Amino acid sequence: MKPDLGAATRGRILYGGDYNPEQWPEETWQEDVRLMRAAGVNSVTLGVFSWAKLEPRPGEREFGWLDRLMDLMHDNGIGVVLATPTASPPPWMGHLHPDTLPVTEDGRTEWWGGRQHFSHSSDTYRRYAAAITEDLAARYGGHPALTMWHINNEYCTYDWSEGAAARFRVWLRAKYGTLDALNEAWGTAFWSQGYGDWAEIHTPRQAHYLKNPGQVLDFKRFTSDMLLECYVAERDIVRRATPHLPVTTNFMPLWVGQDAWRWAEEEDVVSVDLYPDPRDPLGAQNGALVQDMTRSQARGPWMLMEQAAGPVNWRGVNHPKPRGLNRLWSLQAVARGADAVCYFQWRQSRQGAEKFHSGMVSHAGEEGRTYQEVKQLGAELAAIAPEVTGRHTPNDIAVLHDWHAWWAGAQDGRLSNRVDHPDLLRAWHRALWEAHLTTDFAHPEHDLSAYRLVVVPQAYALTDAAIENLLAYVRRGGTLVSGFLTGVADEDDRVRAGGMDARLRELFGIRTLHEWWPLDAGEHVECDGFRGTLWSEEIDKTEDAEARARYKGGELDGLPAVLRSGRAWYLSTLPEPAAMRDLLAGIAAEAGVRPVLDALPEGVEAVRRGELLFVLNHGRESVTVEVPGGHRDLLTGAALKDELTLGRYGAAVLKAEPDAQAEAVLAP
Ligand code: GLA
């Protein structure tokens, strides 16, 4: 059995974050552990960017400082998530071995001096990465402070170098076997692109005009696979040394370069870094989406590896979190399945590129509001941990998402570059969030039988297996709602006959898809009862299908905007948010899915996890929420009957208690 997050949490919620003590004199370390203990920090991630410190010259090792830190953490009861430092090679590597440096699309080298300047395809890089990983595993595998391994950091590089081209050819040979098969899949008959020799194939470098979409699509798959090979190589090394300890690498939310479904299968713990903008009115919804996706990838508890206690420093304007928001968003992550709430980083840096990025201890130090709030949250997480950790609550709704469909659909040469796959995911997930419906994510080929409702915001390319899966799901009684541009292409990005797979057209009751009518920014189409945005379609329906809403006026007057055929629904436009919310809420109700609580005020989120009910007020005004029955709030200890008042950014973690007991407490 693979070790899971429980091997590291041991019933606690992991609380802490990236700790970069090499930036500080050793006296500060003592101060750090004092403040960590006071804040309930029980986990730190060490060594993420320590390669130059650990290996100052090729093959040399300097472990003394890390030995002292590992011991210090252990002496203070703080577990260590130990990172392999391979996201940022030391300067000597690029200097001595230019083949370790990645090359951009237009052939320029990415130099050291920043980070993530490694070529995933470089044998030299991979050799050095394996060697330092071996030595870390050998030295610290038996250290009592070690709880988990963190491989690299936010794998996200692309590489168009000669080394990458060589590996790309190997990857393509394994995929296609023959050049004929590759030429066929890439449609190279178009524009005289036929390949006569494997050596002619390069990465899709800068070209005069639109590139071959098949080549670009395979290059995205290849990039995800190469990074995954780097991860797996390091994972296997640490796994050999410590088979009982879990291994992770931290994802960026909805990062385009990684097929995270595939990656998650290779991880013991799925972890993510999440930084919603405190000023974004949809920050809570966007956070919930990432949390739902990460939980679904983990199929259980997951780790919030990084968040910011205050501002980040990489947006144009970087806002701090108002009082209470860090607590609220942390509890939201726990509600949606996190068993670890961690930050980048422990102590705010005074030098380097991220000195204006917040830390758990800000420049203001112990007295600063940031640390004081971090400390309060640490105590609260410890209080709720016994009732929370290890609990996994599946939902009745799944949102489908597939990286390959995203990659295929996001290419140049389309009808509208305004159609953005993540934006569509957000629009659909937001509609469900606003309808107080909680949801999982799933891949189109996953077993969907446990869900009452499956929604497909957009799946431009679908394999035959995925299409059959969707058909079987509806045949067995599931309700399916799909957005436009679904099932347009196969996995090679070859447009299906009729512009959309015939089986899906039949399922949704589309007789003919005549033309797509994309909409400009600010343009909308009137439909019965709502306005459509972004896209519209000229479709004829089959006799049996029902047009639940039609276009009104304009070229498409009278044609179906929302089409229903049995339990299959098709939206040929994107309804405005309130209409989208009402539409999905209605379909969910018909499919037998109820909101977590009825009559929730706007901006209040209710989520069940195990026995607990989390109620979160994302608004700036106090609200009173009806929560039928007797409950105890595990955060305050208060007993409640039938309703609950939450202040601005207020949160409650409720456990049902027999009414009599609740009333007895409330009576005075
Ligand atoms: C990412 C990285 C961290 C840090 C933060 C800043 O998540 O993993 O090292 O750069 O961003 O927000």
Is 154 tagged catalytic?
yes
User: Among 550, 552, 575, which residue's Cα sits nearest to residue 563?
Assistant: 550
Which atom of ligand 1 is the closest one to the Cα of 275? 12
For range 361-380, the mean pLDDT: 98
Q: Which residues have C-beta within 8 Å of that of residue 606, sequence separation ≥ 6?
A: 436, 595, 596, 597, 600, 613, 614, 615, 616, 625
pLDDT digits 0-9 by tens, 116-143:
999 999 999 999 999 999 999 999 999 9
For range 514-521, the mean pLDDT: 98
Q: Which residues have C-beta within 8 Å of that of residue 277, sequence separation ≥ 6?
A: 283, 315, 319
Quick one: pLDDT at residue 131?
Answer: 98
pLDDT digits 0-9 by tens, 147-156:
999 999 999 9
Catalytic residue among 55, 110, 154, 373: 154
Indicate the fold that domain 604-660 takes in CATH: Immunoglobulin-like (2.60.40)
Distance in angstroms (rounded) separating the CA atoms of residues 283 and 279: 7
User: Among 484, 83, 510, 625, which residue's Cα sits nearest to residue 306?
Assistant: 83
Tokens for 107? 């052939």
Quick one: pLDDT at residue 659?
Answer: 65
pLDDT digits 0-9 by tens, 632-641:
999 999 999 9
Distance in angstroms (rounded) separating the CA atoms of residues 591 and 583: 12
Ligand 1, residues at Cβ distance < 6 Å: 153-154, 273, 275, 306, 312, 344, 354, 357
User: Has residue 668 got a pLDDT over 70?
Assistant: no
Looking at the chain, the whole-number percentage of residues with pLDDT higher than 90 is: 98
Catalytic residue among 234, 267, 306, 605: 306
Quick one: pLDDT at residue 500?
Answer: 98
Distance in angstroms (rounded) separating the CA atoms of residues 95 and 223: 24
Quick one: pLDDT at residue 553?
Answer: 96
Residues 384, 386, 390: CA angle, nearest 5 degrees: 110
Spell out the domain ranges in the chain: 397-590, 604-660
User: Among 66, 31, 28, which residue's Cα sits nearest to residue 46?
Assistant: 66
Quick one: pLDDT at residue 477?
Answer: 98
**Mean pLDDT of the residues in the chain:** 97
Q: What are phi and psi of 617, to 5 degrees?
A: -100, 105
From 508-522, 632-646, 650-664, the region with the lowest mean pLDDT: 650-664
178: burial class by Cβ within 10 Å (0-12, 13-18, 19+)? exposed
Quick one: pLDDT at residue 33?
Answer: 98
Residue 625 host element (H or E): strand 623-633
pLDDT digits 0-9 by tens, 159-217:
999 999 999 999 999 999 999 999 999 999 999 999 999 999 999 999 999 999 999 99
Distance in angstroms (rounded) separating the CA atoms of residues 464 and 487: 10
Quick one: pLDDT at residue 666?
Answer: 41
CA 1 to ligand 1 center in whole angstroms: 32
Distance in angstroms (rounded) separating the CA atoms of residues 302 and 616: 20
Distance in angstroms (rounded) separating the CA atoms of residues 195 and 52: 43
Which atom of ligand 1 is the closest one to the Cα of 153? 8
CA 574 to ligand 1 center in whole angstroms: 34
Which atom of ligand 1 is the closest one to the Cα of 250? 8
For range 303-322, the mean pLDDT: 98
pLDDT digits 0-9 by tens, 222-260:
999 999 999 999 999 999 999 999 999 999 999 999 999
User: Among 75, 227, 246, which residue's Cα sits nearest to residue 148?
Assistant: 246
Distance in angstroms (rounded) separating the CA atoms of residues 549 and 539: 13
Tokens for 653? 């973690």
* Beta strand extents in 460-505 (DSSP E only): 479-483
Distance in angstroms (rounded) separating the CA atoms of residues 453 and 275: 29
Question: Rg of the chain's alpha carbons, rounded to an integer?
Answer: 26
For range 366-383, the mean pLDDT: 98
Q: What are phi and psi of 332, to 5 degrees?
A: -60, -40
User: Has residue 664 got a pLDDT over 70?
Assistant: no
Are 619 and 650 within 8 A, CB to CB?
no
DSSP 192: G
CA 20 to ligand 1 center in whole angstroms: 12
Residue with tokens 């130059």: 52
Distance in angstroms (rounded) separating the CA atoms of residues 344 and 359: 6
Tokens for 551? 């276009």
Distance in angstroms (rounded) separating the CA atoms of residues 47 and 137: 13
User: Has residue 663 got a pLDDT over 50?
Assistant: no
CA 305 to ligand 1 center in whole angstroms: 10
User: Has residue 374 got a pLDDT over 80?
Assistant: yes
Distance in angstroms (rounded) separating the CA atoms of residues 485 and 573: 10
Residues 639, 645, 650: CA angle, nearest 5 degrees: 100
Residue burial 585-624, b: 16+ Cβ < 10 Å; e: rest: bebbeebebebbbeebeeebbbbbbeebbbbbbbbeeebe
Determine which residue's CA is closest to atom 11 belonging to ligand 1.
344
CATH number of 397-590: 3.40.50.880
pLDDT digits 0-9 by tens, 306-315:
999 999 999 9
Q: What is the pTM of this model?
A: 0.97
DSSP 594: -
3-class SS of residue 32: helix
Query: Residue 293 is which amino acid?
Result: M
Distance in angstroms (rounded) separating the CA atoms of residues 568 and 479: 6
pLDDT digits 0-9 by tens, 9-67:
999 999 999 999 999 999 999 999 999 999 999 999 999 999 999 999 999 999 999 99
Tokens for 510? 């589309």
Is 306 tagged catalytic?
yes
Distance in angstroms (rounded) separating the CA atoms of residues 386 and 523: 52
For range 74-80, the mean pLDDT: 98
pLDDT digits 0-9 by tens, 258-274:
999 999 999 999 999 99
Are 266 and 155 within 8 A, CB to CB?
no
Looking at the chain, the whole-number percentage of residues with pLDDT higher than 70 is: 99
- Ligand 1 pocket mutation, candidates 154, 252, 358, criterion most atoms within 8 A of CB: 154
Question: Residue 343 CB: number of other CB atoms within 10 A?
Answer: 26
